[in-house]
Chain A
């Protein structure tokens, strides 16, 4: 009976993943690229860069605002070691590609069909963005996206770029 209780308690607890918040380490993830599923993007491989992991989808209305803003930030900072990783949460890759036809971006896009990345970060809202420093520590979490978020993010990226790796 005691063993059964322990198993049930473990299962009940394991259903509730802990959300990644500022100060925590970014999960170790290796995600297939949206345009080339054979290739992948590993977060560990981006260590030394400032990374913004953005969860987006074609059905997410604020993503129509966030994607062009993130593209502008990426173009502005990429030569200094900043990268945006767009994690797509569409059910169909075709929906994502149609959205990208309207809002073209040049930063790497990955898919997360098994929800491993979303579960790893325990995404609470769409869009959600995790600003990761050069050491792999999440320094800021943005849930939702407005014009103010873009301005805040610019300042945060500038500050993190000045930190040593």
Chain B
């Protein structure tokens, strides 16, 4: 029982940790963005949609039927 408890306590001390609200400046950095260049990504997405004749494949629901 004690060994099991020690293992649980030890496991609780490592692994994933929550980012405190006041530490989110690290996440707000430009190089932490999911897409570091939103303008270029938007242009590429538009070109891709035009070439494939279907929009919304990247993130938005809907297809090329013009019904969304």
Contacts and interface: CB of A to CB of B under 8 A. Distances in A.
A118 B9 contact: no
List the 7 shortest-distance A-B pairs measured between CB atoms, nearest first. A59-B28, A8-B9, A118-B22, A91-B25, A89-B22, A123-B22, A126-B21
Nearest to A123: B22
Interface in A85-137: 89-91, 95, 112, 115, 118, 123-126, 128
B42 interface: no
Given A4-B6, A123-B20, A57 B13 contact: no
A12 B22 contact: no
Contacts of A126: 21-22, 24
Contacts, number: 50
Contacts of B59: none
Contacts of A9: 9
Interface residues of A, number: 25
A36 interface: no
Given A5-B5, A8-B6, A9-B9, A90 B21 contact: no
A7 B55 CA distance: 57
B23 interface: yes
Which secondary structure characterizes the binding site on chain A? loop
Contact of B21 (A5, A8, A112, A125): A125
A11 interface: yes
Interface string B1-33: 011011001101100000011111110110000
Contact of A12 (B13, B23, B28): B13
Contacts of B25: 57-59, 89-91, 95
A8 B10 contact: yes
B20 A118 contact: yes
Interface in A1-39: 1-2, 4-5, 8-9, 11-12, 15
Contacts of B26: 91
A145 interface: no
B22 A8 contact: no
Contact of A15 (B3, B13, B21): B13
Nearest to A95: B25
B12 A12 contact: yes
A151 B63 CA distance: 48
